Amino acid sequence: DGGITQSPKYLFRKEGQNVTLSCEQNLNHDAMYWYRQDPGQGLRLIYYSQIVNDFQKGDIAEGYSVSREKKESFPLTVTSAQKNPTAFYLCASSTDRSGATAFFGQGTRLTVV
């Protein structure tokens, strides 16, 4: 079945450590996105990529980094510079057609301990 896989589902990190969240899709979508979800704030865009080897900052990119070396993969690194990293992280993908539906992974809940 086609879809988006995020791993792990739950992740714990000590303060000062970098951590990488995985996102893989087999939908042959060109565009991929990372959103952060906090209670009462909806989803906020961290980074997006429309094509391999290219990505753009979203609204809240500070303290995060991404790579897009393969069409299927768009990992997100939460660095120690991110001051409040505890959140639910959602990865999505879509075609590059205007108005295309975005398909979401099941999310990763990151907790800093």
Partner 1 sequence: AQSVTQLGSHVSVSEGALVLLRCNYSSSVPPYLFWYVQYPNQGLQLLLKYTSAATLVKGINGFEAEFKKSETSFHLTKPSAHMSDAAEYFCAVSGDNAGNMLTFGGGTRLMVKP
Contacts with partner 1, residue ranges (CB under 8 A): 4, 6, 9, 31, 33, 35, 40-45, 48, 50, 56, 58, 88, 90, 92, 94, 96-107, 109
Give the number of other CB atoms < 10 A from CB of residue 108. 22
CA 3/CA 27 separation, integer angstroms: 6
Q: What is the DSSP letter of 73?
A: B
User: Which one, 6 or 82, has the nearer CB to partner 1?
Assistant: 6
Helical segments of 1-113, H only:
none
* Minimum CB distance to partner 1, residue 92 (Å): 8
Residue 15 vs 54, nearer CB to partner 1: 54
User: Tokens 């565009």 identify what position?
Assistant: 31
Q: Say how far apart CA 95 and CA 97 lie, in whole Å.
A: 5
What single letter denotes the amino acid at residue 27?
L
> In this complex, which beta carbon is closest to partner 1, that of residue 67 or of residue 88?
88
Structure tokens at 3: 């879809």
Q: How far is the CB of 55 from partner 1 (least distance, A)?
A: 10
Instruction: Tell me how far, at minimum, the Cβ of 16 lies from partner 1, in Å.
Output: 27
Question: Given the complex with partner 1, which of 82 and 108 has the nearer CB atom?
Answer: 108
Minimum CB separation of residue 27 from partner 1 in Å reads: 13
